Chains A and B, each alone.
Chain A
Amino acid sequence: SQTIHQWPATLVQPVGSPLSLECTVEGTSNPNLYWYRQAAGRGLQLLFYSVGIGQISSEVPQNLSASRPQDRQFILSSKKLLLSDSGFYLCAWSVGTGKRRYGYTFGSGTRLTVV
């Protein structure tokens, strides 16, 4: 069965420090991978998505970047965190395009607090 792992679960980082969040998927090949961010009490905002190794699409210009060094690995990074980067970050995967039942599966999320 397919599983998605995301870590760490919580993170407190000072302003100006670097960031690296990792997401890995098991049990499937060539998944589409996504990074979402959720502000407190708000909806999910798509940050990046990837349909293959080295292929990254950015939805929102910002202080963050994403990379996909392996087929089932997706990394969210920042060189210097801002206070506004605080939030709940969710990784997700899907296979094919969106018109599929059970098409998107989410990781357990990372709560990032920038202080």
Chain B
Amino acid sequence: AQKITQTQPGMFVQEKEAVTLDCTYDTSDPSYGLFWYKQPSSGEMIFLIYQGSYDQQNATEGRYSLNFQKARKSANLVISASQLGDSAMYFCAMSRSNDYKLSFGAGTTVTVRA
């Protein structure tokens, strides 16, 4: 079974600073995908970034980057230049390449302070 662990239940960050959200995963499959989603208070799930297990480079999408350390089974999300609109819950998720299911971590609540 695959397991995703997010150890930070909540974080505060100052506006314009960077923040790193931790995510570790456990799988024996060699091929898998890692996702980060943002969930604001409205409840919608917003896709942020994706990393494939065979991707050679760390994924980046605007202010979001994924620090992928495959040997450590770690996929931390870095948000640069935090904005007040970044305040939300963030979820790490994983799927296997031969599977249809997306499994989620418990999430990390980020609060950006002005």
Contact = CB atoms under 8 A, between A and B. Distances in A.
Given A99-B33, A108-B43, A51 B100 contact: yes
A113 interface: no
Contacts of A104: 35, 47, 93, 95, 102
Contacts of B106: 42-43
A29 B91 CA distance: 28
Interface string B84-104: 000000010111111111111
A102 B52 contact: no
Nearest to A45: B104
A7 interface: no
A115 interface: no
A109 B52 CA distance: 27
Contact of A103 (B42, B50, B103): B50
Nearest to B51: A101
Contacts of A100: 33, 50
Interface residues on A, range: 20 to 34
Interface stretch (A12-20, A71-79, A90-98): A90-98
A90 B96 CA distance: 21
Interface string B23-58: 000000001110101000011110100101100000
A97 B95 contact: yes
A105 B47 contact: yes
B47 A98 contact: no
Nearest to A109: B43
Nearest to B54: A99
Contacts of B47: 102, 104-105
Interface of B: 31-33, 35, 37, 42-45, 47, 50, 52-53, 91, 93-107, 109
Q: Which 3 A-B pairs have the closest CB atoms?
A: A98-B95, A99-B97, A106-B45
